[in-house]
Amino acid sequence: MDMSLHAFPTVCAQTLRALARYPSRTAFSWPEGTLSYRGAFDLIGRMQSVFMQMNLPPGSRVALLTANRADMWCAGVAAQLARLGITWLHPLGSLQDQLFQLEDSESAILVVDSAAFHDRGGELAASAAGLKAVFTVGRAQYGTDLLKAIEAVGHVTPRSFAGPDDIAILNYTGGTTGRSKGALRYHRQYGGFAGAILADFEIPEAARYLAVAPISHVAGTKVLPTLMTGGTVHLLKGFDPEAVLLTIQRERINFTLFVPTMIYVLLDHPALSRTDLSSLELLLYGASAMSTSRLAEGIERIGPVFSQLYGQTECYPVSVLRKADHDPKTPELFLSCGFPISSCDVKILDDHNQEVATGEAGEICVRAPHVMAEYWKQPHVTAETLKNGWLHTGDIARQDERGYMFILDRKKDMIVSGGFNIFPREIEDVLSEHSDVAMVAVVGIPDEKWGEAVTAIIVPREGSNPSPDELINLVKSRKGSAHAPKQVQFVKQLPMTGVGKVDKKILRANFWTGRDRMVG
């Protein structure tokens, strides 16, 4: 049977279709300018022509290093139309991380946002093995200015040459549990993500989407769904709370996406109470757990607009906790990572690949059209992660009788203390309810008696002076003495990864260096 008969249209073809539908509307807006749907369509066509003149083999990778820029997003679409795969380098990554991703992906082309990454782009261009060309968007002392190159091309209508079996994207995991892995998707696995988001997320019609977090990651997955609604993507480079609040008010933003730490900063900002946020219909949050007390505060002060997303580089999205699920009358659902989206088959499996009983702990395992094809050049890890026809997410959770999932923790973060298996997330959820706790991370540290001692590392709310004994007793009363922290440490801030998660690898390393336990 011809498998192409049942394929999704490619994401780049979906993009052209959306852009052609609303030619006179504004596709992208940023503080210095705008780009219409027609303008984006034309820009993509000319960039595609430049890439195709290079005569690279289909599937060659194009790496992009950028802040949130419309023309750089268009360059990614143009590359995919030309049958090239794209790799987004993490804008907050170290030189070492970015160099690893460039070389591991065997990228042939590097495209650099020279306004934001002039020097870093130059370092990568000079150091990376295997690059055949470097383009800069804007002038630089290295590479070819892509904006100048497209002027020489003139008007070109973009066309999709990509098929379902061409490489679409090679995205690298955040690397919070060791070496970053490249999750590879062909267009066959990539084509359904925008439809899945539109089906299950409450994206407003003619969305006015504010992209603050890097579009190289989860914030970028909302760009195409916004364009498919005929909406506008408003781009900000970096998280400036005043600029975010001002933009929501001025542009009547109805939809945005934040990581929890961004929400905490906004809730603590004096400008929040004098900003008109009445246009906001949907505030998506995700990437890490959110404090339930701060979530309740957000609903009270910003409105009933919160919705939690859950997924990972290997499969996004997996589930969503919708606005109606964020009811202060049923706060127990605040701890849920949501209900599986309609195009995902989700089961909670034990170590023997058997489904656990309702309410029991097991690993979230997923089947979906948009699950990655494989980890790039890592067949053994791929086989382990995709064994028995399921994507094993590494997240331990329980599922209630209605089907809502509650993440207990990452499998690798489990603490073994006094013979008990303890999931830090359960303790963090209890401690985060305390009004004096701004942020919390729980790790196991080496202990002669217990093997690992449960340790809570806490950022206190400003102006508060929490009592360690009170916090320990709170956990003891709610979860029992085995879960109660053996010690509490107070810090000014927690180490964060580039995607807004607490970096437990760094926290653990402080205690485990020189010991025989892996800190990954």
| Domain of residue 168, CATH code | 3.40.50.980
- CB-based burial of residue 154 (10 Å sphere; 0-12 exposed, 13-18 middle, 19+ buried)? exposed
Closest C-alpha to 176, from 512, 502, 515: 502
Give the pLDDT score at 416.
72
Number of domains in the chain: 3
Q: Is residue 375 part of a domain?
A: yes
Do 198 and 53 lie in one domain? The reply is no
Give the pLDDT score at 516.
42
- Of the residues 388, 410, 432, the one at which a domain ends: 410
- Give backbone dihedrals phi and psi of 69, rounded to 5 degrees, phi first: -135, 135
Q: Is residue 119 part of a domain?
A: yes
Bridge-based pairing state of the strands 362-367 and 167-172:
unpaired
CATH number at residue 487: 3.30.300.30
Assess contact for 317 and 309: CB atoms under 8 A.
yes
Closest C-alpha to 344, from 403, 262, 387, 304: 403
Do 11 and 102 lie in one domain? The reply is yes
Do 197 and 235 lie in one domain? The reply is yes
Parent domain of 456:
414-512
Q: Is residue 303 part of a domain?
A: yes
Q: Is residue 520 part of a domain?
A: no
- CB-based burial of residue 459 (10 Å sphere; 0-12 exposed, 13-18 middle, 19+ buried)? middle
Do 127 and 49 lie in one domain? The reply is yes
> pLDDT tens-digit profile of 34-81?
999 999 999 999 999 999 999 999 999 999 999 999 999 999 999 999
Do 184 and 308 lie in one domain? The reply is no
Do 339 and 454 lie in one domain? The reply is no
Q: Is residue 517 part of a domain?
A: no
Q: Is residue 398 part of a domain?
A: yes
CATH number at residue 377: 3.40.50.12780
- Of the residues 349, 381, 410, the one at which a domain ends: 410
- Of the residues 190, 213, 245, the one at which a domain ends: 190
Do 371 and 425 lie in one domain? The reply is no
Do 49 and 38 lie in one domain? The reply is yes
Q: What is the DSSP letter of 355?
A: B
> pLDDT tens-digit profile of 338-380?
999 999 999 999 989 999 999 999 999 999 999 999 999 999 9
Which residue bears the tokens 């659902």? 333
Q: Is residue 519 part of a domain?
A: no
Q: How far apart are CA 49 and CA 78, in angstroms?
A: 8
Do 211 and 357 lie in one domain? The reply is yes
Give the pLDDT score at 520.
35
Give the pLDDT score at 517.
38
Give the pLDDT score at 90.
87
Do 404 and 485 lie in one domain? The reply is no
Do 385 and 424 lie in one domain? The reply is no
Do 346 and 260 lie in one domain? The reply is yes
Q: Is residue 376 part of a domain?
A: yes
Instruction: Please identify every stretch of the chain with a pLDDT value under 50, giving residue numbers as ranges.
Output: 176-177, 514-520
